C-alpha cells in the first residue's frame, strides 16, 4: 500500500500566523525585525530616522560605554575574532576564568559557569540536572529557554499558574510521590510584564518539600539589589536559592550567560552539559565586554546607574499612568522595605491588532517600543513593552510621553 506522506513544508505555508503577517505587512504595521542603523542607546537610528529607544534590554546603557568598548577591542586584539571551538576542548581563555570568578564572587556562590548565551545556560543546566525520573515545577510565565530546557530533560513537568503560590504548593505536594529529584524554576523578573517573583516565599515552599530552586535573573542582574546581583538579592533570598542563571545580553552589554551555584553542581555541568560542550565558546570581544560591564556594575558607579534606572522607570510609569494608559504595576517590596522597581514598564493594550496600530503610530512619532503578543503573553493581553535605560534623560522620556499622548485615542479605542 502506498504511503501517504504530508509535505512537511505545508505548515510553513498554512501556519495561522502567515495570513496575519501578510496583512500586517500590507498595512506596514509589523513591529518586528526593524533595522537598527547605529549604536544602541537612548535614541537610536532606525530605518532612516532617530527614535527614542524604549524597546531595549540595554538597561544600563553600557553597550556604548567607552570602557566596555575598549575591553571588547582589547580582547579581540589579544585573542582574535573567534575561538572556533568548544569551551571544553579549545575554547577556554583566561577571560572565561576571570569572568567566572568575578560572577561567583558577585553572586556569593562557590562557582559559576559561563555559556555562549543565556538560552544555552538555561538549556544546559535544566536539561542536564534533570532526567526522565525527576520532576520540574515551573511558573507558566517562565522564559521560553526554561521551557526548552525542560523539554530537553524529559522530566515530569508540573506547571503552575503565573505567581500562584497556592498552586505551587499543590504541585510540590504532588511531586513528593513522583519518586525523583524536584527542581522549581522561576524567573526573578518576568521578562514581558517585568513583575518580580516572590522568591523568599517560593524558596520557603521549595525547602518545605525538599525541592531545589533555580532562579533566572536575566532581567534582574545589573538591575536589582544594592549590589546589582538581582531579584534574589533585592528580596533578601540569596542564601535560599540553589542556582542562579544570568545573561550578559541585557544590562551587561554583551552576549553570553551563566549559572552560579555550589562548586560540585557547577563542576557536574562543566563536564556533562551538552549546550556547554557541543557548541563554540563566545567570541573574545563578548567576554571582554561582559567582564568590564560586570566590573562597572560592581564598582562605586554601579549603585548610581541603578538609581538612575529606577528613577527613569518611575518617571515613565507615572507619566504613562497620568496620560491614562493601563500600566501594569508590580507592587513588590524588597528586603529593605522599598518598592522593587524594574526597568520594564508594560502598557496593556489587549487586542493584537490594536497593539500593532498603536505601535505604528508611536513609530511614526519617533518612538520605538516592543510589542508582546500571545504566546509571549496571555491571549487578549497584548502589551506595549516599554523599558528604560539609565542613560535616558528627562528630555528623551518627555519626548516619548508626548508621542504617547498623541496616540491616546487609538489606545482608548482598544480599551473600548
Cα distances from 332 to residues 4, 107, 141, 234, 244, in angstroms, run: 56, 21, 17, 10, 20
What would the grid cell of residue 285 be?
A: 570581544
For 163, list phi and psi in degrees, rounded to 5: 65, 10
For ligand PLP, the closer of residues 118 and 334 by Cβ is 118
Distance from C-alpha of 314 to C-alpha of 317, rounded to nearest angstrom:
5
* Beta-carbon contacts of residue 134 (< 8 Å; ≥ 6 apart): 153, 155, 156, 178, 180, 181, 182, 183
Residue 220 Cβ vs ligand PLP, minimum distance, rounded to whole Å: 9
Residue 116 Cβ vs ligand PLP, minimum distance, rounded to whole Å: 9
R_g of the chain, CA atoms, integer Å = 22
Residue 384 Cβ vs ligand PLP, minimum distance, rounded to whole Å: 17
For ligand PLP, the closer of residues 115 and 359 by Cβ is 115
* Beta-carbon contacts of residue 93 (< 8 Å; ≥ 6 apart): 79, 83, 281, 284, 287
What would the grid cell of residue 30 be?
A: 509589523
- C-alpha closest to that of 249 among 305, 298, 198, 293: 293
Q: Which residues bind ligand PLP (CB under 6 A)?
A: 117-119, 122, 143, 145, 187, 191, 216, 218-219, 247, 249, 257
For ligand PLP, the closer of residues 323 and 376 by Cβ is 376
Residue 244 Cβ vs ligand PLP, minimum distance, rounded to whole Å: 12
Nearest residue (beta carbon) to ligand PLP = 118
For ligand PLP, the closer of residues 150 and 361 by Cβ is 150
What would the grid cell of residue 66 be?
A: 567607552
Looking at residue 62, what DSSP letter applies? G
Residue 415 Cβ vs ligand PLP, minimum distance, rounded to whole Å: 28
Residue 249 Cβ vs ligand PLP, minimum distance, rounded to whole Å: 4
Q: Is 255 helix (H, G, I), strand (E, B) or coil?
A: coil
For ligand PLP, the closer of residues 216 and 361 by Cβ is 216
For ligand PLP, the closer of residues 257 and 334 by Cβ is 257
Q: Is 136 helix (H, G, I), strand (E, B) or coil?
A: strand
For ligand PLP, the closer of residues 183 and 407 by Cβ is 183
For ligand PLP, the closer of residues 65 and 216 by Cβ is 216
Residue 230 Cβ vs ligand PLP, minimum distance, rounded to whole Å: 11
Distance from C-alpha of 368 to C-alpha of 390, rounded to nearest angstrom:
17
Residue 141 Cβ vs ligand PLP, minimum distance, rounded to whole Å: 9
Distance from C-alpha of 31 to C-alpha of 50, rounded to nearest angstrom:
16
Amino acid at each position: 500500500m502506498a504511503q501517504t506522506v504530508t509535505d512537511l513544508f505545508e505548515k510553513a505555508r498554512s501556519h495561522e500566523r502567515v495570513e496575519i503577517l501578510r496583512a500586517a505587512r500590507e498595512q506596514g504595521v509589523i513591529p518586528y525585525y526593524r533595522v537598527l542603523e547605529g549604536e544602541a542607546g537612548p535614541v537610536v537610528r532606525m530605518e532612516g530616522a532617530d527614535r527614542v529607544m524604549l524597546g531595549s534590554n540595554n538597561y544600563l546603557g553600557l553597550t556604548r560605554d567607552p570602557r566596555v568598548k575598549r575591553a571588547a577591542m582589547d580582547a579581540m586584539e589579544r585573542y582574535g575574532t573567534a575561538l572556533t571551538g568548544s569551551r571544553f576542548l579549545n575554547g577556554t581563555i583566561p577571560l572565561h576564568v576571570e569572568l567566572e570568578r568575578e560572577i561567583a564572587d558577585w553572586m556569593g556562590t562557590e562557582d559559576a559557569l559561563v555559556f555562549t548565551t543565556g538560552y544555552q545556560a538555561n538549556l544546559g543546566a535544566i536539561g542536564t540536572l534533570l532526567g526522565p525520573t525527576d520532576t520540574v515545577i515551573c511558573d507558566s510565565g517562565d522564559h521560553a529557554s526554561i521551557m526548552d530546557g525542560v523539554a530537553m530533560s524529559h522530566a515530569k513537568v508540573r506547571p503552575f499558574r503565573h505567581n500562584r503560590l497556592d498552586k505551587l504548593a499543590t504541585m510540590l505536594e504532588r511531586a513528593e510521590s513522583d519518586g525523583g529529584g524536584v527542581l522549581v524554576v522561576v524567573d526573578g523578573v518576568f521578562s514581558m510584564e517585568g513583575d518580580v517573583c516572590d522568591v523568599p516565599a517560593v524558596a520557603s515552599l521549595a525547602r518545605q518539600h525538599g525541592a531545589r530552586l533555580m532562579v533566572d535573573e536575566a532581567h534582574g542582574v545589573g538591575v536589582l539589589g544594592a549590589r546589582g546581583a538581582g531579584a534574589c538579592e533585592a528580596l533578601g533570598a540569596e542564601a535560599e536559592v540553589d542556582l542562579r542563571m544570568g545573561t550578559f545580553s541585557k544590562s551587561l552589554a554583551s552576549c553570553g550567560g551563566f549559572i552560579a551555584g555550589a562548586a560540585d553542581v557547577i563542576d557536574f555541568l562543566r563536564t556533562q552539559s551538552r549546550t556547554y560542550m557541543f557548541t563554540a565558546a563566545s567570541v573574545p570581544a563578548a567576554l571582554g565586554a561582559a567582564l568590564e560591564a560586570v566590573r562597572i556594575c560592581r564598582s562605586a558607579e554601579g549603585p548610581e546607574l541603578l538609581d538612575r534606572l529606577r528613577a527613569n522607570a518611575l518617571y515613565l510609569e507615572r507619566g504613562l499612568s497620568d496620560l491614562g494608559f493601563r500600566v501594569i504595576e508590580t507592587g513588590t517590596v524588597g528586603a529593605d522595605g522599598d518598592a522593587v522597581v524594574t526597568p520594564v514598564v508594560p502598557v496593556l493594550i489587549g487586542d493584537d491588532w490594536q497593539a500593532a496600530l498603536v505601535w505604528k503610530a508611536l513609530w511614526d512619532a519617533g518612538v520605538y517600543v516592543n510589542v508582546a503578543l500571545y504566546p509571549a503573553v496571555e491571549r487578549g493581553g497584548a502589551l506595549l513593552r516599554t523599558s528604560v535605560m539609565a542613560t535616558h534623560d528627562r528630555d528623551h522620556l518627555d519626548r516619548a510621553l508626548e508621542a504617547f499622548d498623541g496616540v491616546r485615542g487609538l489606545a482608548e479605542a482598544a480599551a473600548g
